[in-house]
Amino acid sequence: MVTMQEVADAAEVSIATVSRVLRDQPNVRPEVRAHVLKVVEELGYRMNRTARRLRTQTSGVIGLLVSDIRNPFFTDIARAIEDVAHQNDLSVFLCNTDEDPEKEIHYLNTLIDEGVDGIILSPTPSQAKHFQMIMEHPTPIVFIDRRIDGLDADTVLSDNFDSAYTITSHLIERGCQRIGAVIGMSESTTGRERMAGYKSCLEENKQVPLSAFVLPHEENAEKIVTDWLQSNSPPDAILTGNSRLTIGALNAIKQHGLSIPDDILLAGFDETVWMHHIGNGITVVSQPTYEMGRNAAELLLQRLKDHDRPAREVILKGKLIERGSTATAD
């Protein structure tokens, strides 16, 4: 393995200069930088992370744990975090927990054992005691998408109550009298806040809720919506808690031979690349996923610089995007 000293000798510069070039730091003349990078490429030098950790007490790596990487919501968040990390000379290890607390703890312990500099986590629906041991470890953690009740920690959220209230109000304005809501797990703060926003809007408009909490997978929404459509009092609109639940609702509506929006309206959470391609498009609340990821990464960077600063909670607003799935005849 080529060492930094060998690069310095070949380039006829100091190790400090090589280090500044590799870290893309200032105070290096452009011609020197270009020369050092050419030598690095010719010798095939790669930075030894173990040596870096021993020298700087940092790994240059952060961990990202999400509950479902198949959900485009987390794909956008991961992209933003990786962008910020790369800009700050950090790499990202991505882990998928599948809403499994045991898998989550396994990955958290693994990342801590590997000496990552910090962790960004979309937590499983767990109580504060589940994370207490991890929070007592010096490795900084930022929570994203879900709040842990009773835990004082850096957190980035979307305003779930307001978004659910807004999209429910939109359906009521379209004349809907029976809105069925399929929302992700009651154990998560996200699910509870969205259900609360939906029910609050219905209560103000003197409508009766038709709702279900489910594990946010397509087949679960499909089953619930199918049961509703086969009932004696079927809904005239469906509200879904994320894009995977929207797919399940679409499947049920199609199998029941109904047309959107002529027979039933459909709206849900999360913008994806395919939402505007289905029929005349699906009405959604677009959450600020990239901004959420960027804010989480920036909070972690701030925490790495100042471990003792007070915890911060950032709440970002969603945006209603109206499309053909909630259109009504003039």
Q: Mean pLDDT, the chain, as a whole number?
A: 89
Please state the three-class secondary structure of the chain as a single string.
Answer: CCCHHHHHHHHCCCHHHHHHHHCCCCCCCHHHHHHHHHHHHHHCCCCCHHHHHHHHCCCCEEEEEECCCCCHHHHHHHHHHHHHHHHCCCEEEEEECCCCHHHHHHHHHHHHHCCCCEEEECCCCCCHHHHHHHHHCCCCEEEECCCCCCCCCEEEEECHHHHHHHHHHHHHHCCCCCEEEEEECCCCHHHHHHHHHHHHHHHHCCCCCEEEEECCCHHHHHHHHHHHHCCCCCCCEEEECCHHHHHHHHHHHHHCCCCCCCCCEEEEECCCCCHHHCCCCCEEEECCHHHHHHHHHHHHHHHHHCCCCCCCEEEECCEEECCHHHCCCC
pLDDT value of residue 54: 43
pLDDT value of residue 159: 95
- For the chain, list residues with pLDDT below 70: 47-59, 126-130, 133, 329-330
Find out whether 237 and 264 touch, Cβ atoms under 8 Å.
yes
